[in-house]
Amino acid sequence: MIPRIGPKKQNTNWQKLLADANWTAEDLANRLQFPADKFQGLDRVNKHFRLRVTESFVNRMELGNINDPLLLQILPDPDEQKNLPGFHSDPVGDLTYRSQANLLHKYQGRVLLLVTGACAIHCRYCFRQNFPYESSFRQNKQWQSSFEYIRSHKGISEVILSGGDPLVLETYKLATLCEELSHIPHVKRIRIHTRLPIVLPERIDNEFLEWIHRMDTPIIMVLHCNHANELDQQVQLAIERLKSSNYLTILNQSVVLKGINDTVAAQCQLQERLFDCGILPYYLHLLDKVSGSARFHVKRDAAILLHEAMRKQLPGYLLPRLVEEQASHPYKLPVY
């Protein structure tokens, strides 16, 4: 008998890659052809939010370039641990809007369901660095009470899966979750906020595609990509495969990040490249001023000038909306 290892092996491949995403400072330095001690100690800057990046994302970095826009997003900095005025652990007040431990109901008609605390990469500008997010997560038990909440609030027409990154869940779990949601009559759309198709394109495997093709509730996938270099051939192929599903819309959000994408050229290249890949821009966020993210901060006046310059160069449909998140505001606030 021929052992049936083929499909199983393929299905678990991405999980192995996910498990391998924690690097030592030395391995990362070697891999990018820097001196072995170049990043010494940086893998110990924050033990709750370690140096974490997928092999595939590292493959898109330029060897020996300390200013590489992908490297800068994931490389820890000793100053992250300093308290700086104006930077807080929960600047947009999300913790106060938790209707339940893993449900945020802040905007009319939409709820954000936090389905996992885990991510494939640790982006150093993210609010996640300030909470022991991963370890505090008790996903399965709380799903039932979240479903109850959504069922009893008939005004909710869209459920947004967020986290962490919802796509780190195994496909069967995502499928179970979405099936349950799609049975709630007033839920018309399911949205997935994810960075995985960008940072771990291997995640879009046959099993996932089969599931997404079976879904008959419209799904909006909002990706998170900050720089054109993140979109290589492998990512483009993963997106093409996703787009063969009729019920799927793919958008992108990004964050204005100093030294990474705060030039007109970098922004226009990003939007053009997204279009090549079949993705339309959605939001361009001002950085939430979370503790540890100060080195990425672009002043709002500079961000407005940047966005105005983009407006001149890009067709309207390739111009993301420049927005900021403010505590207690009922929608993402246009910056100007």
Q: Applying CB under 6 A, which residues contact ligand PLP?
A: 104, 106-107, 110, 112, 160, 331-332
For residue 145, the one-letter residue type is S
Residues 6+ apart with CB under 8 A from 166: 115, 116, 174, 192, 193, 194
- From the list 23, 91, 89, 98, the residue with the least C-alpha distance to 55 is 23
Q: In angstroms, what is the minimal distance from the CB of 58 to ligand SF4?
A: 15
Which residue carries 């483009």 as its tokens? 236
- Find out whether 281 and 251 touch, Cβ atoms under 8 Å: yes
Segment near ligand SF4 (CB under 6 A); pick from 88-96, 121-129, 135-143, 202-210: 121-129
x/- mask, ligand SF4, residues 197-236, rule CB under 6 A, reads: ---------------------------x------------
List residues bridging with 22 in a β-sheet.
Answer: 52
230/57 Cα distance (integer angstroms): 7
Residue 289 within binding range of ligand SF4, rule CB under 6 A: no
Closest to ligand SF4 by CB, 235 or 314: 235
**Which contiguous run of DSSP H or E holds residue 190?**
strand 189-194
Tokens of 161: 């899966």
Closest to ligand SF4 by CB, 164 or 307: 164
Which residue carries 């001002």 as its tokens? 286
Q: In angstroms, what is the minimal distance from the CB of 112 to ligand PLP?
A: 4
18/40 Cα distance (integer angstroms): 23
Count of Cβ atoms closer than 10 Å to residue 173 Cβ: 16
Q: In angstroms, what is the minimal distance from the CB of 77 to ligand PLP?
A: 26
Out of 122, 189, 191, 241, point to the residue binding ligand SF4 (CB under 6 A).
122
Tell me the residue number closest to ligand PLP, measured at CB.
106
Residue 128 within binding range of ligand SF4, rule CB under 6 A: yes
- How many residues sit in the footprint of ligand SF4 (CB under 6 A)? 10
Residue 123 within binding range of ligand SF4, rule CB under 6 A: yes
- Find out whether 223 and 279 touch, Cβ atoms under 8 Å: yes
Out of 71, 113, 126, 239, point to the residue binding ligand SF4 (CB under 6 A).
126
Q: In angstroms, what is the minimal distance from the CB of 283 to ligand PLP?
A: 7
What separation in angstroms does the CA of 178 have from each of 75, 119, 253? 34, 20, 22
How distant is the alpha carbon of residue 209 from its chain centre?
Answer: 19
Closest to ligand SF4 by CB, 164 or 178: 164
Q: In angstroms, what is the minimal distance from the CB of 107 to ligand PLP?
A: 4
C-alpha neighbours within 13 Å on the C-beta side of residue 334: 4
Closest to ligand PLP by CB, 106 or 124: 106
- Find out whether 55 and 20 touch, Cβ atoms under 8 Å: yes
x/- mask, ligand SF4, residues 140-169, rule CB under 6 A, reads: ------------------------xx----
> Which one of ligand SF4, ligand PLP, none interacts with residue 307, CB within 5 to 8 A by kind?
none
**Interacting residues toward ligand SF4 by CB under 6 A:** 119, 121-123, 126, 128, 164-165, 195, 224
